[in-house]
Structure 1
Amino acid sequence: MPLDDLVPRSAAAALALEVAERFHSPALLNHCRRSHLWAAEYARARGIAVDAELLYVAAMLHDIGLVPAFDSATLPFEEAGGAVAWVFAAGAGWDADRRRRAGEVIVAHMAEAVDVAVDPEGHLLELATGLDVSGRRPDDWPADFRAEVLDRFPRLDLAEEFLGCFTEQARRKPSSIAGRLVAGGFAGRVRANPLDAG
């Protein structure tokens, strides 16, 4: 399946990409785009029913709490990003349940594991970001698909940029998930990501 066929065509999806392009660095933007493709392809290959537009919006906005304009002094970045997603969804005219879900999916992406039966979009985004950031379970995606995605959306300096963001989150919010990950050897896993092996 062509990569573009995995991207939903809707006004909300287009606006989410516009927001991501406006506020993310090139490396974080490509990370968001790859994360969506990993998630959408994983769902397609396994027949996981998903709200494609919700998944796309959440993927585009899942790290927006790391960027200076939306970095909260007190909230973990995933909670700040979830709040941004709620506001985005309200502006897009989504009903109250979908607004709530947009925030939940973004918060869920930082969980250690998410039950696909309870939260399919959160499950998919958690798996996808795990692959893209620390190289978890790469064989869950075919090698040719991985190569196509990486060619279309290169990794640039994602590893060091992401580590810088997480280190700063950990410094200011040591009890957050980011803080616990940094204290637990996160940097080594990120730098050893097989997606960066070429």
Structure 2
Amino acid sequence: MNSTDIFGVTIPDSRIADEITQLIRGVASEALFLHSTRVYFWGALTGKRNSLAFDPELLYAAAMFHDIGITPGYHESRLRFEVDGANAARDFLRGHGIDERDIEKVWLAIALHTTPGIPEHMAPEVFLVQAGAGMDMAGRNYEHFTEDEREGVIAAYPRGHDFGHEVIEVFYQGLKHRPDSTFGTFNDDFLAYRDPDLQRGNLCSIILGSRWER
């Protein structure tokens, strides 16, 4: 485990955190593993900056599990990948005797991390995973971090020279067999980017084509 201190943020020094690190490293690509770790640091730094009271171990668990549902072990699943990840984290934490209220925070943090506009009104851990993922994937609130903070995280957990294209491919491979699970989210963008002929679901068409309109 990398115990790098980045402006007062470190990976929790606990058996559970160590087991999480080893588990995710074993199933995720190096790029996805590093992304998940950066999500933790962006989230924790955001929490410190906003003086939020959060549990670093719960935040680490949620950040590290948040994309496990996109890894090859779930390529046959028909669930939303966020739900696969939330369920995997829940099972892991239950196996370690974590309180159900804390498990619910982690479950929600993972399940809602691709749903902007809601996590920021929930428990800090829920908000911070979504904030961290948004920063690492799309540079959301990039300017809220100092240059030293950005350089410190990237130096410890490198982004790579072509992270954007690499992560798009990872998500495409993890979602192409379950396109229906992306309806109502921005995850269908990954499919449309790789498959210009994708026929996306359209809620207006669904409403107007429903049995109520016949």
Q: TM-score, normalised by structure 1?
A: 0.84
Report how far residue 120 of structure 1 moved: 1.4
Q: What residue number does 1:180 align with?
A: 188
Paired residue for 1:124, among 123, 128, 132? 128
Instruction: Report if aligned partners of 1:89, 1:102 keep a CA contact under 8 Å in 2.
Output: no
Q: Distance in 1 between matches of 2:126 and 2:112?
A: 5
Q: Distance in 1 between matches of 2:165 and 2:108?
A: 27
* Matching of residues 142-161 of structure 1 within 5 Å: 142-156=146-160, 157-161=162-166
Report how far residue 151 of structure 1 moved: 1.1
Q: What residue number does 1:12 align with?
A: 16
Secondary structure, aligned partner of 1:69? helix
Q: What residue number does 1:39 align with?
A: 43
Q: TM-score, normalised by structure 2?
A: 0.78
Q: What residue number does 1:193 align with?
A: none
Paired residue for 2:167, among 162, 170, 173? 162
Structure 1 residues 5 and 129: alpha-carbon distance in aligned structure 2, compared to 1, 3 A threshold? closer
Q: What residue number does 1:48 align with?
A: 52
Q: Which has the larger radius of gyration?
A: 2
Q: Cα RMSD (Å) of the superposition? A: 2.2
Secondary structure, aligned partner of 2:13? coil
Where in structure 1 do 4 or more consecutive aligned residues deviate above 4 Å?
183-186
Q: What residue number does 1:102 align with?
A: 106
Instruction: Report if aligned partners of 1:113, 1:123 keep a CA contact under 8 Å in 2.
Output: no
Q: What residue number does 2:71 align with?
A: 67
Structure 1 residues 72 and 88: alpha-carbon distance in aligned structure 2, compared to 1, 3 A threshold? farther
| Unmatched segments (≥5 aa) in structure 1 | 187-198
Query: When the two structures are aligned, how many residues end up with a matched partner?
Result: 186
Report how far residue 117 of structure 1 moved: 4.2
Give % identity: 27
Given residue 115 of structure 2, which amino acid in structure 1 is its aligned partner?
Answer: A
Cα deviations by residue, 1:141-167 (Å, 9 ceiling, x for unpaired):
111110111111111243222101222
Structure 1 residues 185 and 137: alpha-carbon distance in aligned structure 2, compared to 1, 3 A threshold? farther
Given residue 146 of structure 1, which amino acid in structure 2 is its aligned partner?
Answer: R
Instruction: Report if aligned partners of 2:20, 2:64 keep a CA contact under 8 Å in 1.
Output: yes
Given residue 118 of structure 1, which amino acid in structure 2 is its aligned partner?
Answer: M
Given residue 58 of structure 1, which amino acid in structure 2 is its aligned partner?
Answer: A
- Indicate whether 1:22 and 2:26 are aligned: yes
Report how far residue 113 of structure 1 moved: 2.4
| Unmatched segments (≥5 aa) in structure 2 | 195-214
Secondary structure, aligned partner of 2:179? coil
- Indicate whether 1:78 and 2:86 are aligned: no
